[in-house]
Amino acid sequence: MAIITPEILLDAYRAGIFPMAEGSASDEIFFVDPEQRGVMPIRTFHTPRKVKKIIKKQIFDVTYDTTFKAVLDGCAATGKKNRLDTWINLEIKQLYLALFKQGACHSVEVWLERDLVGGLYGVSLGGVFFGESMFSTISGASKVALVYLVAKLQMGGFTLLDIQFNTEHLTQFGALEITREEYRRRLEAALKTRGKFSSYSEDFDWISRFLQSNTHTS
């Protein structure tokens, strides 16, 4: 079995493929190259009205890169209200923790008082953010994390948000599917640009301005 290093993993992302495992107990990783790729427009992203209302109530606090491992563990959680199994095995966890230490991986954390109730993480290369996984233990928390992620990417000059696979959950924010060929063209162009992911937690006025720039109200 070939050893996958953090550098090999970054090269895989540059080539347009991403890792998965058959299950949390699996000791092997395989790479996926879908014929149809899910992407989330950054500039034309729109926040559904219900999600805007949640954010404006200021129920949650949102931070960046403060507890990456906890977010990773939340995304990998199984049982109870979570999925029965996960594609995140121990080796994948170790790889993303290494990328986080290198500054190539980032997380968004959603808090209710002192409890981590949602979040997401992904890989940052050039002007591309590769969204990997998200979780929530309270309704709406992962949606709030997504809004705060896109706001940060927009501010940092990112041009491509790869979400791997589109879902009904993501379509409401403007996600769409493109062909493998079109994805490769966009990826190549975006990798030549440079996005900056700031771990600084912005104030509420900042996210309010972002929400106001969303013209969609659905």
Q: Are 119 and 73 in contact (CB under 8 A)?
A: no
Residue 137 domain flag = yes
Q: Are 76 and 88 in contact (CB under 8 A)?
A: yes
pLDDT for the residue numbered 1: 53
pTM reported for the whole predicted model: 0.93
Residue 85 domain flag = no
pLDDT for the residue numbered 81: 53
Residue 5 domain flag = no
The CATH number of residue 161's host domain is 3.40.630.70
Residue 1 domain flag = no
Structure confidence by residue, pLDDT tens digits, 133-156: 999 999 999 999 999 999 999 999
pLDDT for the residue numbered 83: 53
Structure confidence by residue, pLDDT tens digits, 52-88: 999 999 999 999 999 999 999 999 986 545 555 577 8
pLDDT for the residue numbered 131: 97
Residue 22 domain flag = no
Domain that includes residue 65, residue range: 33-75+103-213
Total tally of structural domains belonging to the chain:
1
Residue 25 domain flag = no
Residue 21 domain flag = no
Strands lying side by side in the sheet with 160-164: 61-64, 105-112, 115-125, 128-136, 160-164, 36-40, 176-179
